[in-house]
Amino acid sequence: MSGKNLEIPGHVSLAPGAGGLQKVLVKTAWSSAEIYLHGAHVTGFQKKGEPPLLFMSAASEFTAGKPVRGGVPVIFPWFGAREGLPFHAFARITTWELKETSLLPNGAVTLRFILPDAENFHAEYLVTVAESLTLELDVGNTGDMDATFEACLHTYFQISGIDAISITGLAGTSYQDKVAGTTETQTADAIRISSEVDRVYPDTAATTEIEDPGFGRKIRIAKSGSNSTVVWNPWIDKSKRMPDFGDEEYLHMVCVESGNVAQNNVTLPPGGHAVMKVEISSERLLS
């Protein structure tokens, strides 16, 4: 990061964050946001007059080399386990470079991050803060052979209560149930969560919505260049096993993640690139 020239008075400022890690604070006419350079991790997005959109664990660590619990971890270039290597890969535990900030004529603010040392990839991440939050991960193959990667924007949403919400948009899609170890089909229109849920829905580019009557809002997750959706809530036992997550916090979060994982991994020819774009917006529910 080249320092103060990235600041935009009234809109973008740099500040020391938790654990001494550097963060960027963004303000627009509609919203505010907070992004750490560690992981290019969006740890906050809040529209004026609404509860925060993103859940952050009060027990999260903010330590170099360790993941942050909550917000939007950027999972790249693999998703899940890889023998001898970090779970969910290195992008979320690497300090990204903040390359550029801009205030657009419409009042939106964009931040452009670059992942240093991404092996044979060039990865850029564009975060746009406005009335909605837009995240774009652009991955290029800088090597001289085909290269394959997985990616996922592992978004934690703040909800009024896990028993109050329903998630729509995935009906008719089959999914891998990672808790049961089976493949199932989503028959119900709305997903309701009342036990541990860890599901990968492949081959879907559908927009999903989280309806949350307790907060009187509906969250919309619209995406392009992403063919997998992951839904996760750790429920009681797994919450207790996670040292950086409160025992009761599963009640107030759900992850609806947009990515290209497992069979939807992406293979790029030399010089090729792929963009995954996710726009997260919210609206008031009519009471």
38 included as an active-site residue = no
Separation in Å, CA 258 to CA 124, 128, 240: 17, 17, 26
Contact residue for ligand BG6 among 7, 50, 61, 198 (CB under 6 A): 198
Number of helices and strands in the chain (H, E): 1, 23
Phi/psi of residue 130, each to 5°?
-155, -140
CA-to-CA distance for 195 and 179, rounded, in angstroms? 10
Beta carbons of 223 and 135 less than 8 angstroms apart: no
CA-to-CA distance for 67 and 274, rounded, in angstroms? 25
Contact characters 144-173, ligand BG6, x per CB under 6 A = ----------x-------------------
Asked whether position 196 contacts ligand BG6 by CB under 6 A, the answer is no
Closest distance of CB 69 from ligand BG6, Å: 7
Phi/psi of residue 223, each to 5°?
-145, 160
Nearer to ligand BG6, 138 or 198 (CB): 198
Q: How many CA atoms lie within 13 A of 270 on its CB side?
A: 3
Strand partners, 231: 199, 256
Closest distance of CB 106 from ligand BG6, Å: 33
Asked whether position 178 contacts ligand BG6 by CB under 6 A, the answer is yes
Asked whether position 67 contacts ligand BG6 by CB under 6 A, the answer is yes
Contact residue for ligand BG6 among 36, 156, 215, 232 (CB under 6 A): 232
Closest distance of CB 80 from ligand BG6, Å: 7
Nearer to ligand BG6, 232 or 250 (CB): 232
Nearer to ligand BG6, 88 or 277 (CB): 88
Asked whether position 97 contacts ligand BG6 by CB under 6 A, the answer is no
Strand partners, 174: 185
Asked whether position 38 contacts ligand BG6 by CB under 6 A, the answer is no
Closest distance of CB 18 from ligand BG6, Å: 17
Q: Which residue, 96, 144, 137, is CA-closest to 116?
A: 96
184 included as an active-site residue = no
Nearer to ligand BG6, 229 or 282 (CB): 229
Query: Which entry of 136, 154, 209, 279 is annotated as an active-site residue?
Result: 154
Separation in Å, CA 120 to CA 9, 145, 146: 37, 9, 10
Q: Active-site residue numbers? A: 154, 257
Residues engaged in binding ligand BG6 (CB under 6 A) = 67, 87-88, 154, 178, 198, 230, 232, 257
